[in-house]
A = this chain, B = another copy of it.
Amino acid sequence: MAIKRFTRQRRAVLEVLRSTRRHPDAAWIYHEVKKRVPSISLGTVYRTLDALVREGMVIALHTGGPTRYDAFTEPHPHLVCRRCGAVLDLDLEVGGLVEAARSAHPELVVERAWLAFEGLCPDCARSLES
């Protein structure tokens, strides 16, 4: 269903998500939102995230562990650290991917591209260097 009411809970989830660039999962969001709306339940956090994703106000990232959420919806690549699991935004222009896929595969409907890199974040790169 589409969002009909902007409740305290939903506003708080969206604000928490917009206030961070760490691509948190539902548990972290729950923990943060509870500071502002102590009565909120984890189920509501999940239902809210679901609704926000369906509305296109938030994107969901599937990296292997729990689903992570991002209120920054412009397509942009990520780096997933294979050591600590951190997700970082990359400053990298990669246009034309959807168009390229469309012309290579006219039989498909291509709507969106997801580009992620696997590697090490600066902290883990530092602590692993020999």
* Chain B nearest Cβ from A93, distance in angstroms: 9
Task: Give this chain's copy count.
Answer: 2
Residues 57-113 (chain A) with a chain B CB within 8 angstroms = 60, 62-64, 67, 77, 79, 82, 88, 90-92, 94, 97-98, 100-101, 104-105, 107-113
CB of A42 closer than 8 Å to a CB of B: no
* Chain B nearest Cβ from A17, distance in angstroms: 19
Residues 16-73 (chain A) with a chain B CB within 8 angstroms = 60, 62-64, 67
> Contacts A63-B62, A79-B105: A115 and B92 contacting too (C-beta < 8 A)?
no
Residues of B within 8 A of A107 (CB): 122, 125
CB of A14 closer than 8 Å to a CB of B: no
Interface residues of A (CB under 8 A from B): 60, 62-64, 67, 77, 79, 82, 88, 90-92, 94, 97-98, 100-101, 104-105, 107-122, 124-125
Please name 27 pairs of A and B residues whose Cβ atoms are closer than 8 Å in the assembled complex, sorted by A: A77-B101, A79-B101, A79-B105, A79-B108, A79-B110, A82-B111, A88-B108, A90-B105, A91-B105, A92-B100, A92-B101, A92-B105, A98-B117, A101-B117, A108-B119, A108-B120, A108-B121, A108-B125, A109-B119, A109-B124, A110-B119, A111-B118, A111-B119, A112-B118, A113-B115, A113-B117, A115-B115
